[in-house]
Structure 1
Amino acid sequence: MDKAIFDKVYNAKDHDVLMDAYKDWAGQYDSDLEQEGYVAPAATAAILDAYVEDKDAYILDAGCGTGQVGALLAKAGYTTIDALDYSEDMLAEAKKKNVYKKLTQADLTKPLEIADNTYDAIICVGTFTYGHVGPDSFGELIRITKNGGYICFTVREGAYEDHDYRKHMLKLEGTGCWELEELRQTDYIRGENVTCKVCLYRVAK
């Protein structure tokens, strides 16, 4: 894997730099991360699958990247999955997997043009990390999830505490917006010896 691209992605100071990095990386993203042992998508998809019984549930893959998570969910039998990502180049790669009902280019750090209570579940892998999307975006994910629906996401170790993800999670728990169902530490990228938290919340009914 090209370490220069990897470093550019995780040290991006603004969205323009980040999108430029993903434009350079999109075509090699899957093969590079497979080589590095990027196991977070499989671990997170498996956790969501354990909670969402209806295979026709309406699911959003938020920060979908090249569609690795969507492909895993489709393989598990889920039939109605939307994709959302800020990078048009990554979305173009995701489209090739032919597993998404709709693909949307949007910025998770801004209000989303999605109606309240739209999705039965949201999955978000590899997005809550350094240089990407901060914890302020949790509120939008809750808004567009149906009452009683699930939100399952990763937070890269280190960023979990340093960037206040945990603080925001607890605040939303305290105000009754969502309830923690599962919190698990797992490998993130084995080749980098990096772990992550996988968090599964149920939105208030």
Structure 2
Amino acid sequence: MTDSERPLPDGPVAWAWTTTDTPVGPLGLAATRTGLISVVFHAGERTSAEAVARLSRHLGSAPGAPPSACHDLLAEAVDQLRAYFAGRLRAFSLPLDWSLTSGFNRRVLRELLAHVPYGTVVAYQDLADRTGESGAARAVGVAMGSNPLPVVVPCHRVIASDGGLGGFGPGLESKRILLTLEGVLPEPLFQTAARLP
């Protein structure tokens, strides 16, 4: 993946927003000219409005009528997410805009993205060790919770040292679905009534 290290902007940044349906519910996606900047779980009407307002404050502009490059990137992100959820894509190849994270959080997220591939997991403590911060397992958890690019930067692959799922801001059921899709967890023996045809 390509990415940008630019800091938060001094002036307004052109960007675009869209939502797409997935097996973990609607995801909201935002992109600048630089790359995908945000992935938001549970992106129904209210959550989308809140995310757009938050991004508008950070980027200094509303999503209005951005350059086609932003829309093209969103279309590619939607296509890659569909392929991922269909089991046809194991690694995203989208440019990323990292400007919504910095410092330790960015370092940990980049380590996760670069070295924890599809179908594998890593413990919070192991990820802390990999970044040279051996006592920072809780800080890794905070970094995962503030990940602006979940699924694409796979914070769902970080688990507790005892093998438990650990936490996941969008909910443990979403984490289970993602890890099952990647073959880390077995398919459930029983489906809930809501998932039956």
Regarding TM over 0.5, the answer is: no
Larger radius of gyration: 2
TM-score (norm 1): 0.28
Q: What is the TM-score when the length of structure 2 is the normalising length?
A: 0.28
Which structure: greater strand fraction?
Answer: 1
